[in-house]
Structure 1
């Protein structure tokens, strides 16, 4: 009976660990030299390098449009008083772990994220972790004067490869506190579904 209850508890614990929310923690730096009134209209502006990657930029601008709507701005390509330039860069990096999650070493070792026994890798590849670094940037200009009225950048480094879920959270983080965000570097946590 105790074995059956223990097994059931373990299964429930594992299933709940796989569902729920995850946190995208971004380091955000924002500058707001002039206030952008709520309800302002904008259009997207592209650099020549972004025009060469039209499909990817269309997707990024669609994500930014949703984030900008949350802070009270609306896209209007005909009567826009502001232009928005949005950018994103990302890279994947393989990190070799000091201690693999499972492997062979001299003697026994348990703890600190690892279980090892003996010598050499028991499961090759478990000593490598892929990390995804991303940065998003938003620059808003007054179209009449071409002056920058808002600039924000958010960076995130994490284990998730699904940019379609992570980038919108980073854009939300970059716009947190808009139109008068706090000064200095700050950490912004945005929860998204697993």
Structure 2
């Protein structure tokens, strides 16, 4: 007895499903490869969103300063938190480049300015949804279109309905590198009157873990243009040092 040929409509439906699955998988692969290529490119600058408040008194020189640490900043920090010592070390080169001179804590009464530093860190987990799971568009055995291994309502991937083959959806969630936002603040006060002379903030977004090495560039961006920094939000790129060839 000869083999019975499959119905042409069923065969065409199967081939269309395979082709659609392959095209979608190929598009997803291109997107992933493009993102990986971009992330592999070496960054040349740190981009920050900056906003300044207050007008530094005209004609006033930078003078001497000490760091003003709040009681809450002196309390024990959570594991992995950035300490005030690291914040001060990150901000000091920028302050010195603007003409400020650091005094030791025991000379605080001689300082002209009190400098208060702050850091806020926000980490947002991200999920990636893969339409074909970890097996690609043709399932774990290379035979089935997308979602053949996820069967809602207990149906098998070979379920027949209306003369065509039905394939269930196969979305799988996986964790992506988190979205991290670092936001530094700098407040300059007159030591004698406690008046706020200048306030600046700089925030930086990135994928991955918290990177303390960008903090000096955030402080440099926050105080760029001091003492005549324009009011209102702006975007500032601080170049990274490039290795000599």
> Fold conserved (TM > 0.5)?
yes
Residues 32 and 150 in structure 1, CA contact (< 8 A), matched pair in contact too: yes
Aligned position for 2:185: 137
Q: Which runs of 5+ in 2 are unaligned?
A: 1-35, 139-144, 148-169
Contact 1:21 1:193 (C-alpha < 8 Å) held by counterparts: no
2:177·2:208 contact (CA, 8 Å) conserved in 1? no
Q: Aligned-residue CA RMSD in angstroms?
A: 3.3
Q: SS at the partner of 1:171?
A: helix
**For 1:147 and 1:105, how far apart are their aligned partners in 2?**
63
Q: CA deviation at 1:70?
A: 2.1
Aligned-partner SS, 2:56:
coil
Taking structure 1 as the reference length, what is the TM-score of the superposition? 0.72
Measured in 1, the distance between the counterparts of 2:146 and 2:239 equals: 40
1:176-191 matched pairs, under 5 angstroms: 176-191=224-239
* 1:118 pairs with 2:146: yes
Question: How much does 1:59 deviate?
Answer: 1.1
The Cα shift of 1:33 comes to 2.4
1:24 matches 2:55: no
Other-structure match for 1:33: 55
Shift in Å, 1:75 = 0.7
**Pairing partner for 1:80 from 111, 131, 144:** 111
Within 5 Å, which residues of 2 pair with 1:146-185?
Answer: 146-185=194-233
Q: Give me the whole-angstrom Cα distance separating, in 2, the residues matched to 1:176 and 1:104.
A: 50
Candidates 108, 121, 124, aligned match of 1:93: 124
Distance 1:20 1:45 in 2: 36
Alignment CA distance shift 1:53-1:68 (3 Å)? farther
1:121–1:33 CA distance, 2 compared to 1 (3 A): same
CA contact (8 A) 1:173 1:190 kept: yes
- Between 1:160-169 and 1:170-179, the stretch displaced more is 160-169
Which residue, out of 84, 88, 93, partners 1:57? 84
Q: Within 2, Cα distance between the matches of 1:132 and 1:90?
A: 7
TM-score by length of 2: 0.58
Deviation of 1:96 (Å): 2.4
Q: Partner of 1:71 in structure 2?
A: 98
